[in-house]
Amino acid sequence: MKSKIISLFVCILLISSAVLTVTGKLNDEDLVKSKNIFIDDYPLPPPLSIDMILEESICRRMSWRTYTSESVTDEELSTILWAAYGVKEDGNRSIFNPYGTYSPIIYVIRSDATYKYNPENHSLILFKTGNYLHLGQYDTPIKFGLVWDMDVEPDEIIGMGDIGKLAQNIYFDANALDLATITTGIYVEDLYELGLPSNEKPEIIMPLGHPSQPYDFTYDPLPENNLPQVVNNNLTLEEAINNRIIEKSWNNVPLPLLEQSQILWSAYGYSYLWDNVNNKRHRTLPSAVAVYPFQIYAANQDGVYLYSPGTHSISEIVSGDRRDAINESLSQHNIDIPSASLIIVPCYNTNLGGAYSIGFWYYENGAIINNILLEAAALDLSANVIYDIASESDLRSALGISSQTNLKPYSVLPVGNPYSSPNTPPQRPEIDGPTSGVAGTSYNFTFNSVDPDGDDVYYYIIWGDGYIEDWEGPYASGDDFIISHTYSNKKTYTIEAKARDTFGDESTIATHEITIPRVRFNTDFHFLFLHFFEKLLELLYLI
């Protein structure tokens, strides 16, 4: 009897091996693409410390088209990826999305393989083996494929805007490291060759390498006009990212003209450095085919003004305080717009940019937003972003440009000194969920935190198996947040969770344990076979 069982076992093993070879179920590359399985996760070294001042980084921002064959170090790559899309010590991203829907994916294409950047672990996850550096334009040792995940954020103006924000930080850190890059929108469809999922849309490819000749800049101040000269503050890019303050109300105290000048310049101005290699000044952000179709409007307590980048000056459009009217043109929100000292409204001129993909102008809007938030941090100011415009015509009317229907406002950015009212952090969340279970089974967990001030709350959850929920929300104070999670291995896991209110104050950490006593594989074909073999071996042992 025992010999018959052994023969049966061998036959099944041979058959299963053949089937698995045909189906490819044990192929590492397929498993890597699975949403819930990380096989090859390569930690990146700590980012380098760069002491270049933020304003100088903005002024040195430029696109480069010829590169050497010199490699990029892992330390340099780590520094750029963290600035682009990393997770800060406070749990927030290096860029800001007001809805928490961080939909960009950074594919890191190298000669050996293509990887996904994992912000939560600051690591590279193997996506596809092989050399795909031929994708897109330019010959460099690394290329970034910037992809929009439509399942995470269905609105392209927000998803592509986030790509514009992170691309700015790639520019800034690359240049500060004496590396170079460029934003390319041509041939981005080549990224489909990687086998992207259907919910991912390739948007931008950014080559990264060493410039073919050294940077060479000369200080050449902007022309004197009715705005003060641009000056350097004290923060580096890293410090500006870490010191960024997002607020929902301000003290309504007018900003000095110098601070208004700095904000407007960062949004759309010209560099105070002359590029001796290309014999030109660069803009504070890139644009497609040398077209800059945005008009930047600024509203304060005295009126609405149009910023002129070429002369670094402003001209009055309409006098009087229009901040209430701007607020009324927006959708329902909980931001005190009229209390902001300065409101910036980037408007896309369809007469100038219509010949190029509209997605790129969403990108440029994001770049504008990113620069304003960083410069506000350098000035010790706070800001916020609103995409929800209820009526474009009402907003144009508030700005005094009602007849210019060719101008499309994409976002509204209030800036000012934060209102110093006391804020109470949310209470430690309560976690309700199973304390035991089986591997491969999805379980629901409920998180609930009450904010004493009634503010909305976000949840940061560490599952204990390498997965993190990065500030999910917002959810109303006291409302249940229910989310499912699946554990794959036999172990006792400690779930850690904290809540954060809309002012950035965080609760203490709550914990919850769940024990997975034994492994139960999912219904993938090879897992069923392995489970069957386990039982068969037990039977053989008993005979």
**Is position 486 within any domain?**
yes
Other residues' Cβ atoms within 10 Å of the Cβ of residue 102 = 21
Tell me the C-alpha distance between 475 and 501, whole Å.
10
Which H/E stretch holds residue 378? helix 358-378
What's the pLDDT score for residue 104?
98
Tell me the C-alpha distance between 73 and 363, whole Å.
28
Other residues' Cβ atoms within 10 Å of the Cβ of residue 472 = 15
The residue-averaged pLDDT of 319-338 equals 95
Domain extent at residue 371 = 244-416
Q: Are residue 381 and residue 318 in the same domain, yes or no? A: yes
**Is position 472 within any domain?**
yes
Q: How confident is the model at residue 40 (pLDDT cuts 50, 70, 90)?
A: confident
Q: How confident is the model at residue 25 (pLDDT cuts 50, 70, 90)?
A: very low
450: tokens are 């009450």
Cis check: omega of the bond before 474, within 30 degrees of 0: yes
Contact of 300 with 341, CB cutoff 8 Å: yes
Q: Are residue 44 and residue 133 in the same domain, yes or no? A: yes
**Is position 257 within any domain?**
yes
Contact of 230 with 241, CB cutoff 8 Å: no
Give the pLDDT confidence of 123-179 residue by residue, as tens digits: 999 999 999 999 999 999 999 999 999 999 999 999 999 999 999 999 999 999 999
* Residue in the structure block whose two tokens are 């005979």: 543
Q: Are residue 393 and residue 534 in the same domain, yes or no? A: no
C-alpha torsion angle, residues 75, 201, 171, 388 (rounded to 10): -120
Q: Are residue 331 and residue 371 in the same domain, yes or no? A: yes
Task: Kindly provide the residue ranges of all beta strands, DSSP E only, lying in 84-216, ordered along the sequence.
Answer: 104-109, 113-118, 123-129, 142-149, 180-181, 200-209
Q: How confident is the model at residue 225 (pLDDT cuts 50, 70, 90)?
A: very high
Considering the chain, what is the average pLDDT of its residues? 89
The residues, ordered by sequence, that sit 6+ positions from 370 with a Cβ below 8 Å of its Cβ are 95, 164, 165, 166, 168, 169
Tell me the C-alpha distance between 289 and 38, whole Å.
40
What's the pLDDT score for residue 1?
45
What's the pLDDT score for residue 420?
66
Q: Residue 473's domain is classified under what CATH number? A: 2.60.40.10
- pLDDT for 352 beyond 70: yes
**Is position 233 within any domain?**
no
β-bridge mates for residue 21, sequence order: none
β-bridge mates for residue 200, sequence order: 149
- pLDDT for 541 beyond 70: no
Q: How confident is the model at residue 20 (pLDDT cuts 50, 70, 90)?
A: very low
Look at 39-53, 291-305, 377-391 and tell me which has the smallest mean pLDDT.
Answer: 39-53
What's the pLDDT score for residue 14?
43
The DSSP code sequence of 143-178 is: EEEEEEETTT---HHHHHHHHHHHHHHHHHHHHHTT
**Is position 175 within any domain?**
yes
Q: Are residue 363 and residue 491 in the same domain, yes or no? A: no
- pLDDT for 307 beyond 80: yes
541: tokens are 């042992």
Q: Are residue 48 and residue 134 in the same domain, yes or no? A: yes
Give the pLDDT confidence of 418-430 residue by residue, as tens digits: 876 668 899 999 9
Q: Residue 334's domain is classified under what CATH number? A: 3.40.109.10
Q: How confident is the model at residue 11 (pLDDT cuts 50, 70, 90)?
A: very low
Give the pLDDT confidence of 179-205 residue by residue, as tens digits: 999 999 989 999 999 999 999 999 999
Give the pLDDT confidence of 476-525 residue by residue, as tens digits: 999 999 999 999 998 999 999 999 998 788 999 999 999 998 544 444 44
Contact of 272 with 225, CB cutoff 8 Å: no
Give this prediction's pTM.
0.75
Tell me the C-alpha distance between 513 and 109, whole Å.
39
What's the pLDDT score for residue 523?
41
Give percent of the chain with pLDDT exceeding 70: 87
Q: Are residue 395 and residue 452 in the same domain, yes or no? A: no
Q: Are residue 459 and residue 538 in the same domain, yes or no? A: no
Of 482 and 453, more confident = 482
What's the pLDDT score for residue 334?
87
Which among 196, 171, 195, 198 has a CA at the least distance from the CA of 184? 171
The residue-averaged pLDDT of 61-73 equals 97
What's the pLDDT score for residue 244?
95
Tell me the C-alpha distance between 464 and 452, whole Å.
29
**Is position 234 within any domain?**
no
Tell me the C-alpha distance between 290 and 275, whole Å.
16
Q: Are residue 11 and residue 44 in the same domain, yes or no? A: no
Which among 463, 442, 444, 445 has a CA at the least distance from the CA of 523? 442
Q: Are residue 271 and residue 301 in the same domain, yes or no? A: yes
531: tokens are 């489970």
Q: Are residue 396 and residue 250 in the same domain, yes or no? A: yes
The residue-averaged pLDDT of 341-354 equals 93
Question: Number of structural domains, the chain?
Answer: 4
Q: Are residue 258 and residue 171 in the same domain, yes or no? A: no
The residue-averaged pLDDT of 245-268 equals 96
**Is position 500 within any domain?**
yes
**Is position 184 within any domain?**
yes
